[in-house]
Structure 1
């Protein structure tokens, strides 16, 4: 199993509605992108200097499934929505 974790920092001025819409769109990929087993998205509640603003945790059966998800049209559409909202993106993929 592959676990895929992504953390983003929002650009200055991104509103609460846009943040919640990003979360909603990411969560809506479950059941649409067929190789996505599970997804969880959370907005940071701490707000420390070390914090990122939003995190995605997702699971895939294999790296091939993660690659298929990355190229799925629904995922690409969400990515196009996210790109103008964020200034940083960090990701970790690991196998368990």
Structure 2
């Protein structure tokens, strides 16, 4: 299994509405991309200082399934239209799980 983990920090001018829209758009992806085995995302709880503000964790059976997700037009649209406009920093990793 492949686990894809992405962390975001939003720009200072990102609005609550924009952040909520990111979550709403991400919520639709598992129903549109059958290669997604599990999908979890949400805002940081604020327990520790210095954390990123938002995380996405997605599981796939194979690297090829992850690549389908990565390159899927709807996923790319979410990234381009909703995430990048409010993004200050991003970190990502793909690991075997």
Root mean square deviation, CA, Å: 1.2
Q: Distance in 1 between matches of 2:38 and 2:96?
A: 15
Q: Which runs of 5+ in 1 are unaligned?
A: none
User: Alpha-carbon deviation of 1:87?
Assistant: 1.3
Q: Which runs of 5+ in 2 are unaligned?
A: none
Q: Distance in 2 between matches of 1:85 and 1:59?
A: 25
**Equivalent position SS for 1:37:** strand
* Residue of structure 2 in register with 1:91 after alignment: 92
TM-score in terms of structure 1 length: 0.92
User: Alpha-carbon deviation of 1:48?
Assistant: 4.2
* Residue of structure 1 in register with 2:20 after alignment: 20
- Structure with greater helix share of residues: 2
**Equivalent position SS for 2:74:** helix
The worse-fitting range, judged by mean Cα deviation, of 46-55 and 66-75 is 46-55
TM-score in terms of structure 2 length: 0.91
8 Å Cα contact 1:47-1:53 kept in structure 2: no
* Residue of structure 1 in register with 2:40 after alignment: 40
8 Å Cα contact 2:13-2:86 kept in structure 1: no
**Equivalent position SS for 2:30:** coil
Change (3 A) 1:7 1:24: same
**How many residue pairs align between the two structures?**
96
User: Alpha-carbon deviation of 1:49?
Assistant: 3.3
Runs of 4+ aligned structure 1 residues displaced above 4 Å come to none
